[in-house]
């Protein structure tokens, strides 16, 4: 049972519960929500690109257990892990409204409602914790990350929008200058409709967290993305001219961002980071390198 402090902390999660309720009660929202159970949409393709980096862990450690955090859209992240070959995946979110349905239709397996700041599991309960695009919703993200690190045995894997103000590419000053010429100021602060501040992490912040927890192995990868409203309803292989136009626009935007990353104008929009509690086995290390993850050894604390 949660303590009063835990209950009060849950209140800080703004309007997330109402958002999931509206998926079941509002016809337009339900139409959009139903697409989360599909694997043939352009939106699924977008998220597939974000999730693919975790395949290295599944390939190198196929018997590992997983938990997903902030996975309220019927458990789409847990479903992906299972589809990719993970054998045991526990799905969690602050609300289990849609997770119950996901379980009933066979989309996910085990699930529970969990406040990310107070996970109801013992230390090291799961080999890997996977948190995709949820960290930036949390009111106290590093409290949640501490909890994720506690229940992880091997690693915590985050996939989040990157803080470009901290993770600066070599020529990022040029990109900011060009934006200023176009009358566009850099996005320093962001808020979402459900009420939360968008807390985008950086490599530096995650490294400091890891060193504070007395661990020193981290790995990074990333990708770019583009979103156009309504992409959820467009087929992955569009047929109509209108749908093809949207698909082309999204892929063209991603290609432009990729070029900007390549020439040093920006870092990838999305940062995927693995914070290790123990050195991964040789199979995982090989799979990470093959998938172009950057493995970084941080300095050891000389006083421990």
Higher pLDDT, 187 or 303: 303
> Residue 73 and residue 93: Cα distance in Å, rounded?
9
Least confident piece of the model among 100-104, 197-201, 213-217: 197-201
Q: What integer pLDDT is reported at residue 15 of this predicted model?
A: 67
* C-beta separation of 283 from 46 below 8 A: no
Q: What integer pLDDT is reported at residue 187 of this predicted model?
A: 66
Q: What integer pLDDT is reported at residue 287 of this predicted model?
A: 98
Residue 111's CB is within 10 A of a number of other CB atoms, namely: 24
CATH class of 4-162+189-225+268-297: alpha beta
> Residue 281 and residue 128: Cα distance in Å, rounded?
14
Mean pLDDT over all residues of the chain?
92
Q: Please compute the mean of the pLDDT values over residues 122-136 and round it to a whole number.
A: 97
> Residue 47 and residue 39: Cα distance in Å, rounded?
10
Backbone angles phi, psi at 89, to 5 degrees: -135, 120
Q: Assess whether pLDDT exceeds 60 at residue 10.
A: no
List, for residues 70-113, the tens digit of each pLDDT value. 999 999 999 999 999 999 999 999 999 999 999 999 999 999 99
Q: What integer pLDDT is reported at residue 184 of this predicted model?
A: 67
Q: What integer pLDDT is reported at residue 12 of this predicted model?
A: 52
Q: What integer pLDDT is reported at residue 196 of this predicted model?
A: 84
Q: Please compute the mean of the pLDDT values over residues 186-200 and round it to a whole number.
A: 82
Q: Please compute the mean of the pLDDT values over residues 222-247 and round it to a whole number.
A: 97
Q: What integer pLDDT is reported at residue 9 of this predicted model?
A: 46
Higher pLDDT, 165 or 219: 219
* C-beta separation of 117 from 13 below 8 A: no
Residue 160's CB is within 10 A of a number of other CB atoms, namely: 25
Q: Assess whether pLDDT exceeds 90 at residue 226.
A: yes
> Residue 261 and residue 219: Cα distance in Å, rounded?
18
* C-beta separation of 123 from 155 below 8 A: no
pLDDT-derived band at 45, boundaries 50, 70, 90 = very high
């Amino acid at each position: 049972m949660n303590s009063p402090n835990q209950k009060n902390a849950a209140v800080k999660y703004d309007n997330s519960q109402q958002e999931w309720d509206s998926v079941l009660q509002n016809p337009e929202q339900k139409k959009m929500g139903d697409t989360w159970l599909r694997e043939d949409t352009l939106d699924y393709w977008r998220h597939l690109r974000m999730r693919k980096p975790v395949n290295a862990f599944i390939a190198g450690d196929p018997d590992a257990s997983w938990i997903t955090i902030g996975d309220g859209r019927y458990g789409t992240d847990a479903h992906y892990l299972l589809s990719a070959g993970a054998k045991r995946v526990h799905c969690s979110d602050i609300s289990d409204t849609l997770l119950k349905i996901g379980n009933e239709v066979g989309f996910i397996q085990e699930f529970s409602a969990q406040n990310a700041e107070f996970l109801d599991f013992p230390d090291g309960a799961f080999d890997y914790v996977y948190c995709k695009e949820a960290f930036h919703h949390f009111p106290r993200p590093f409290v949640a990350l501490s909890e994720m690190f506690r229940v992880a045995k091997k690693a915590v894997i985050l996939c989040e929008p990157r803080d470009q103000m901290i993770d600066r590419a070599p020529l990022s000053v040029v990109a900011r200058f060009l934006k200023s010429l176009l009358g566009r100021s850099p996005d320093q602060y962001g808020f979402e409709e459900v009420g939360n501040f968008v807390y985008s992490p950086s490599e530096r912040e995650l490294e400091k967290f890891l060193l504070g927890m007395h661990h020193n192995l981290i790995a990074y990868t990333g990708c770019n993305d583009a979103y156009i409203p309504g992409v959820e309803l467009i087929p992955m292989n569009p047929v109509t001219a209108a749908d093809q136009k949207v698909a082309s626009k999204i892929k063209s935007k991603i290609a432009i961002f990729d070029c900007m990353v390549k020439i040093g104008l920006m870092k990838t929009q999305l940062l995927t980071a693995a914070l290790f509690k123990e050195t991964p086995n040789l199979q995982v290390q090989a799979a990470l390198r093959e998938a172009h993850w950057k493995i970084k050894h941080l300095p050891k604390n000389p006083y421990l």
